[in-house]
Amino acid sequence: MSLQHHKVVLVGDGAVGSSYAFAMAQQGLAEEFVIVDVFKERTVGDAMDIEDAQAFTAPKNIYGGGYEDAGDADLVVITAGAPQKPGETRLDLVDKNLGIMKSIIEPLMASGFDGIILVAANPVDILTLAAQKLSGLPTTRVFGSGTSLDTARLRADLGKKFNVDPRSVDAYILGEHGDSEFANFDEATIGGRSIKAFAKDANISDEDLDAILYATAHKAYEIIDRKGATFYGVATALMRISKAILKNENAVLPVGAYMDGQYGLNDIYIGTPAIINNQGVASVIETPLSDSEATKMAASAKALKDIADEAFA
């Protein structure tokens, strides 16, 4: 990766993708930014629109393009996916989105691409595994947004509860990005002091903490009910991960990382903290878990493994 010139390709210029492109432009990240979508005219329109914002931020080269532009890209971010239709099962959606992932990875790899792939399309943990297997790239260079958005939501809620900047809350949502995710309340801290101690001081019970987790895990539905989709939160999480990659930060961020023995798990992607730099996942941080949290991690991994086994059968 050249220090002077970073090239990012976005695949999927919908609500999430276009918000991500805008967030990247606002931060002045990526000297060259290519937008790819089956809806080609929209990519050109979005590039033109974001170009207009750059007189106020920093000049970058942003354009609608194709996979042929990806050969020398540092990072490809995939937000292309079909939404779940009424009556469709989760596995139907998996099948459909696996087909979309195949139609992306084949031309991407044919371009000679040899960078990092970051996946956000859902079901993200399964689609990340598919992207890795289809691309043949090292597992460290293909990873997912995992529980990054969920963790952001949890930190914001805990920050509000304890009147602390959410960036100072060291708590994680771990596991699947989905129904079996859980919070590491037994291990979470603020300023090195346990969240449970803060909760006790504030008369917040374990049930109240569970209610915060429930609200975090169900916030997407609350937003979707009101505006049809969620995109600013995840787009900002993707921007933050991209920044850690492009600026070689070694930042500790929650992502969907490949399990190679960590937490006793293998051959799945799952939400965990990891060190992110310009090599992708430099290392997975196997964060300490209490016994009950370890049980939740195992159950979440099993839920993912069952879907993966069926999807890849």
Which positions touch ligand NAD (CB under 6 A)? 11-17, 37-39, 79-81, 83, 100, 103-104, 120-122, 124, 145, 149, 177, 229-231, 234
Q: Are 246 and 5 in contact, with CB atoms under 8 Å apart?
A: no
Instruction: Give me the least distance between CB of 206 and ligand NAD, in Å please.
Output: 27
Instruction: Give me the least distance between CB of 254 and ligand NAD, in Å please.
Output: 11
Residue closer to ligand NAD (CB basis): 93 or 195:
93
- Give the closest residue to 234 by CA, choosing from 9, 8, 12: 12
Instruction: Give me the least distance between CB of 1 and ligand NAD, in Å please.
Output: 24
Residue closer to ligand NAD (CB basis): 16 or 190:
16
Residue closer to ligand NAD (CB basis): 65 or 115:
65
Query: Which tokens hold the place of 237?
Result: 């999480």
Query: Which tokens hold the place of 204?
Result: 């917040």
Name the strands in the sheet holding 280-284, side by side, starting at the edge strand that comes first in the sequence: 61-64, 32-36, 7-11, 75-78, 116-119, 142-144, 251-260, 266-277, 280-284
Instruction: Give me the least distance between CB of 241 and ligand NAD, in Å please.
Output: 11
Task: Give residue 143's identity as a one-letter amino acid code.
Answer: F
* Residue whose Cβ sits closest to ligand NAD: 14
- The span from the CA of 34 to the CA of 47, in Å, is 8
Annotated catalytic residue within 5, 6, 177, 218: 177
Query: Which tokens hold the place of 153?
Result: 């939501």
Residue closer to ligand NAD (CB basis): 80 or 265:
80
Task: Give Cβ neighbours of residue 306 (< 8 Å, ≥ 6 apart).
Answer: none
Is residue 6 among the annotated active site residues? no
Q: Quickly tell me which residue has 């033109």 as its tokens.
A: 48
Q: How far is CA 259 from CA 107, 130, 250, 267, in A?
A: 27, 14, 19, 6
Instruction: Give me the least distance between CB of 169 and ligand NAD, in Å please.
Output: 19
Q: Are 255 and 272 in contact, with CB atoms under 8 Å apart?
A: yes
Q: Are 80 and 43 in contact, with CB atoms under 8 Å apart?
A: no
Residue closer to ligand NAD (CB basis): 120 or 199:
120
- The span from the CA of 207 to the CA of 236, in Å, is 30
Residue closer to ligand NAD (CB basis): 124 or 199:
124
Count of alpha carbons within 13 angstroms of residue 50, beta-carbon side: 31
Instruction: Give me the least distance between CB of 255 and ligand NAD, in Å please.
Output: 11
- The span from the CA of 307 to the CA of 151, in Å, is 23
The catalytic residues are 177
